[in-house]
């Protein structure tokens, strides 16, 4: 019994809540400071498994980041 | 029903653009929009920023924002004009925005609240 309990604890995962659903903020490609929280140090878009966003907001976010890149608000790579 | 929409165009100009040259660009855009039964809600400078990457020989630029309501055909004319000023306008992007967002912009610019723009 005891063994099983420890096993359960080990696999306990906190339920993720999408930040944009919770705060009801709109994603806009001009909000650079917001978008830059979702790119990693290689300037890649952070995947859903680590951003914790819902599918809809991840989609909106990724297109916003891509728009911002075109407008030179965000870099495409670190090699520029 | 005619095809009316709310649009927002953000365009990036080179940092050393004089006021005269900017007025020329903006005059052309204004004309393009009024040719297509449009109405400008907001036309102002958004920000001076250093660019995320070098464009041509520029590392800095000035962003200007234009919010308007017009026929869909106005967008291609606005973009054609921006392309015409290719040496001065480095980048541009037009997106369709929600009606509430557009009306909010109009209310904000009418009340004369000139905040530097959200970064």
pLDDT at B52: 95
Structure letter (DSSP) for residue A37 = G
Tokens of B40: 């400008």
Nearest Cβ partner of A80 from B12, B53, B61?
A: B53
pLDDT at B119: 40
A57: phi then psi, degrees, rounded to nearest 5: -70, -30
State mean pLDDT over A26-48. 95
Does residue B31 belong to any structural domain of this protein? yes
pLDDT tens figures, B68-114: 999 999 999 999 999 999 899 999 999 999 988 888 888 887 776 55
Q: What is the ipTM of this complex?
A: 0.82
Nearest Cβ partner of B12 from A69, A71, A80?
A: A71
What is the chain A residue with the closest CA to B10? A71
Does residue B117 belong to any structural domain of this protein? no
Task: Residue B10: give the domain boundaries.
Answer: 4-110
| A3 pLDDT higher than 60 | no
Structurally, chain B folds into a number of domains equal to 1
Tokens of A1: 């019994």
Residues of A in contact with B48 (CB under 8 A): none
Does residue B60 belong to any structural domain of this protein? yes
CATH number at residue B69: 3.30.70.60
Strand order in the sheet with B58-71: B39-55, B58-71, B4-13, B89-96
Please check whether residue B36 is in contact with residue B71, taking contact to mean a CB–CB distance below 8 angstroms. Answer: yes
Query: Is B5 in a helix, a strand, or coil?
Result: strand
Domain A17-80 has CATH 4.10.640.10: yes
pLDDT tens figures, A5-18: 555 566 677 777 89
pLDDT at A60: 95
pLDDT tens figures, B16-72: 999 999 999 999 999 999 999 899 999 999 999 999 999 999 999 999 999 999 999
CA–CA gap between residue A28 and residue B52 (Å, rounded): 17
Nearest to B41 by CA among B7, B74, B72, B75: B7
Does residue B116 belong to any structural domain of this protein? no
CA–CA gap between residue B111 and residue A16 (Å, rounded): 41
- Alpha-carbon gap: A75 to the closest alpha carbon of chain B (Å): 5
Buried b (16+ CB within 10 A) or exposed e, B88-101: bbbbbbbbebeeee
Does residue B34 belong to any structural domain of this protein? yes
pLDDT at B110: 76
User: How many CA atoms lie less than 13 Å away from A44 in the CB half-sphere?
Assistant: 5
pLDDT at B2: 66
Does residue B115 belong to any structural domain of this protein? no
Please check whether residue B15 is in contact with residue B62, taking contact to mean a CB–CB distance below 8 angstroms. Answer: yes
| CA-atom Rg of chain A in angstroms | 17
Does residue B70 belong to any structural domain of this protein? yes
Tell me the pLDDT of chain A averaged across its residues: 87
Does residue B118 belong to any structural domain of this protein? no
Nearest to B65 by CA among B92, B39, B86: B92
């Amino acid at each position: 019994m005891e063994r099983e309990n420890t096993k359960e604890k080990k696999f306990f995962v906190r339920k993720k809540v999408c930040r944009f659903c919770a705060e009801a903020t709109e994603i806009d490609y001009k909000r650079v400071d917001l978008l830059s929280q979702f790119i990693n140090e290689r300037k890649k878009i952070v995947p859903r498994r680590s951003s914790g966003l819902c599918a809809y907001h991840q989609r909106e976010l990724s297109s916003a980041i891509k728009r911002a890149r075109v407008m030179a608000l965000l870099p495409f790579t670190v090699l520029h | 029903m005619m095809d009316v929409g709310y649009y927002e165009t953000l365009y990036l100009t080179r940092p050393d653009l004089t006021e005269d040259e900017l007025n020329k660009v903006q005059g052309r855009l204004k004309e393009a929009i009024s040719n297509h039964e449009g109405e400008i809600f907001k036309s102002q400078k958004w920000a001076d920023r250093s660019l995320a990457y070098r464009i041509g020989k520029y590392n800095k630029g000035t962003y200007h924002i234009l919010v308007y309501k017009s026929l869909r055909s106005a967008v291609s004319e606005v973009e054609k004009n921006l392309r015409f000023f290719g040496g001065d306008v480095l980048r541009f992007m037009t997106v369709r925005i929600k009606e509430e967002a557009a009306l909010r912009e109009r209310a904000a610019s009418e009340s004369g609240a000139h905040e530097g723009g959200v970064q």
